[in-house]
Amino acid sequence: MPITTPPAAPDLSGSALVRAPERPEPGYWAGCPGVRYEPDRDRFLLTYRERRPRDTDPTADGRDRGWRCAVAESRDGVEFHDLWSVERADLGSPSMERFALLRRDGGYLLHLSYVDPADRRWRIDALRADTPEAFDLATRAPVLTAAGTGTEGVKDPYLLEHDGGVRLFATVSRSRAFTAGERARAHATADIHTTGLTVQPTALAASPDGLRFTAPPGRAAEVLDVGPPGAWDAYESRITAVLPDGSGGWLALYDGSADAAGNYEERCGLATSTDLRHWHRLTPDGPWLDVRYADVVAARGRWYLYYEQTRPDGAHELRVAVLDEFAGLRP
């Protein structure tokens, strides 16, 4: 039967640390996980990001912030070692955020989410290589840009193979009419998400190969709107993972925040769909889990739930919980 009510939230008390932040201080994060499991090679592949505090000068180029992203490998799903990495300076960018990895057509696709140095708006590019160690930034190609989508930015990709092609879920900053003052502020810090000037729903694009994506521009591409005014997810609704619900439909994990003040501390909700385009919230009254950027994969007869979580010292760390059941589903 399709899921119609929120299932019991998993117990994360037995979770394990995957990556710790550089320092035990606010603004230092390790997180933005995206995970794949390869049964034929019995290995986990993880993408993650490291962040440092935002520059105190609001007119600066956001020095540090999302400064490093990596692809890492593990045999047990807990202990990872890096295969490939990139720093924001390599892209000439003020910041990077979530990456997405997909094995397809005998090779690997990597989608990069970063601030475009040309217009200071978030964008997504793609790399292709035979192995995760062989990605070459010189070969990157644009996938989705603010100008091409009719938005104020597009970021945080999640890739899903479906019907022989690839579906890309991404957070977009909805375009709207700005006053002159708002327009000046919108991208002054190279991160419109922190300004409160527009909302951040999830949009969907499709591709036959994971490289060339098409989507209607603007609001027509949005598939998970933000919640109504006053809701816990009224400012942002970012799909971070999609999995079959066991009944022919789909279950999504999504990050939500009520306003721009919660941009760095989103929490996780649930939504369901029968067609990947129309999503129904299971958690309209409050979040399901107090974590962000959750991704989940079935491996070795269990679920591996990866997520970013805030620590008591204000830093963020990347953790994994190994579960026999997740959202009422067996692996």
**Average pLDDT, 10 consecutive residues per value, the chain (331 residues):** 86 97 96 98 98 67 82 98 97 97 96 97 98 98 96 98 96 96 93 96 96 91 97 98 95 98 96 97 97 98 98 98 94 90
Q: Is 164 exposed, middle or buried (0-12, 13-18, 19+ CB in 10 A)?
A: exposed
* Phi/psi at 44 (5° precision): -105, 140
Residue carrying the six token digits 């290589």? 129
Distance CA 277, CA 102 (A): 21
CB 170 within 8 A of CB 154: yes
pLDDT score, position 63: 62
User: What is d(CA 247, CA 244) in angstroms, rounded to the nearest whole number?
Assistant: 8
pLDDT at 22: 96
Other CB atoms within 10 A of residue 272 CB: 18
Walk across the sheet containing 100-104 and list its strands.
100-104, 107-115, 122-129, 141-144
